[in-house]
């Protein structure tokens, strides 16, 4: 008596007597995938890959299969696009820069803010409800016709230095933290820099990604200490950026630098030392609490300015 003919479940015209070790369906050579024992079908291999836990870093970030720092490149692209928009429409700087408290007349001229406002003048800035400036200013940079540094306009150097620092720091920090944690760190650092500007110098007008960049500097330092890297190298790196903060204060805002540095350090400490068992929850809660604290500081400062 002839045995029943068995065929591949995906290719019924192909006769085969080999079955998948997981689902036991018959498979042809085109559908076979080698396993530790025997062969598996294509679908079982895919199912196994989906159920397999991907490795994570010491900070909870998922190890990317492509190793492409997507968020870092996206942030660089947004900054460059914003700068090109500034060149086309210079008025965007006045509209979206970090401005804490200003007064404007009917012609749009700016004046120093008077507590509580002044009759006949419009209140401009965060104090006037334009909270978006706390973040939008971090994606703008000084225009090319601004302060010169030697033969080059500082506006060009401003964005070039910041984007180079973002490219240099962002790739390593994003690799360790993962995309979501890295983006939260960047935005909170930018917010922290703007909040300190608002608290200390509310009449200043500030642009630049420096606050967020210094948040990445602090993150790089904390990550280096957490992973036990050579302390001399990490300390020297941090010292170099602190010197840069002091030198660039002549052209940009030291408050934004310091605010971003402190915020970035606080966020990364939470990332680095959250208990492993409930790491994601503690990290998310830490970011929410820190963000709420920054918002509260803005509210209190606004109340003080408006009387």
Catalytic residues: 210, 257
User: What are the b/e assignments for 206-244, b being 16+ CB within 10 Å?
Assistant: bbbbbbbbbbbbbbbbbbbebeeeeeeebeeebeebeeb
Q: Is 7 left (phi over 0), alpha (psi -120 to 50) or beta?
A: beta
Name the β-bridge partners of 40. Answer: 33
How far apart, in whole angstroms, are the C-alpha atoms of residue 136 and residue 212? 12
Q: Is 139 helix (H, G, I), strand (E, B) or coil?
A: helix
Rounded (5°) CA angle 284-60-184:
40
How far apart, in whole angstroms, are the C-alpha atoms of residue 149 and residue 154? 5
Task: Report the half-sphere exposure of 266 (CA within 13 A, side-chain side).
Answer: 20
* The two structure tokens encoding residue 124: 């401009």
| Residue corresponding to tokens 């419009």 | 122
Among 279, 277, 83, 47, residue whose Cα is nearest residue 180: 279
Among 169, 163, 209, 195, residue whose Cα is nearest residue 299: 195
In Å, how far are 75, 122, 178, 193 from 113, measured between CA atoms?
33, 10, 42, 21
Residues whose CB is less than 8 angstroms from the CB of residue 19 and which lie 6 or more positions away in sequence, other chains included: 25, 26, 27
């Amino acid at each position: 008596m002839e045995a029943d003919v068995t065929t591949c479940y995906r290719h019924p015209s192909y006769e085969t007597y080999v079955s998948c070790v997981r689902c036991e369906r018959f498979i042809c050579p085109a559908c076979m995938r080698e396993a530790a024992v025997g062969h598996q079908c294509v679908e079982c291999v895919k199912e196994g890959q989906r159920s397999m836990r991907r490795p994570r870093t010491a900070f909870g970030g998922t190890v990317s299969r492509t190793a492409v720092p997507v968020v870092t490149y996206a942030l660089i692209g947004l900054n460059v696009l914003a700068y090109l928009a500034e060149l086309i429409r210079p008025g965007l700087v006045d509209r979206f820069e970090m401005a804490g408290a200003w007064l404007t007349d009917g012609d749009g001229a700016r004046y120093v803010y008077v507590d509580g406002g002044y009759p006949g003048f419009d209140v401009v800035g965060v104090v006037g409800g334009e909270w978006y400036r706390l973040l939008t200013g971090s994606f703008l940079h000084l225009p090319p016709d601004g302060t010169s540094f030697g033969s080059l306009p500082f506006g060009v150097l401003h964005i070039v230095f910041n984007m180079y620092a973002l490219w240099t720091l962002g790739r390593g920090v994003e690799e360790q933290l993962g995309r979501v944690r890295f983006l939260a760190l960047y935005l909170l650092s930018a917010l922290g820099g703007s909040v300190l500007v608002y608290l200390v110098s509310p009449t200043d007008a500030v642009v630049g990604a420096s606050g967020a960049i210094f948040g990445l500097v602090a993150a790089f330092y904390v990550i280096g200490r957490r992973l036990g890297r050579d302390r001399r190298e990490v300390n020297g790196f941090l010292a170099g950026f602190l010197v840069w903060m002091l030198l660039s204060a002549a052209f940009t805002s030291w408050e934004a630098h310091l605010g971003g540095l402190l915020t970035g350090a606080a966020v990364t400490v939470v990332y680095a030392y959250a208990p492993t068992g409930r790491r994601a929850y503690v990290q998310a809660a830490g970011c929410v609490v820190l963000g709420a604290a920054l918002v509260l500081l803005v509210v209190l400062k606004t109340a003080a300015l408006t009387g």
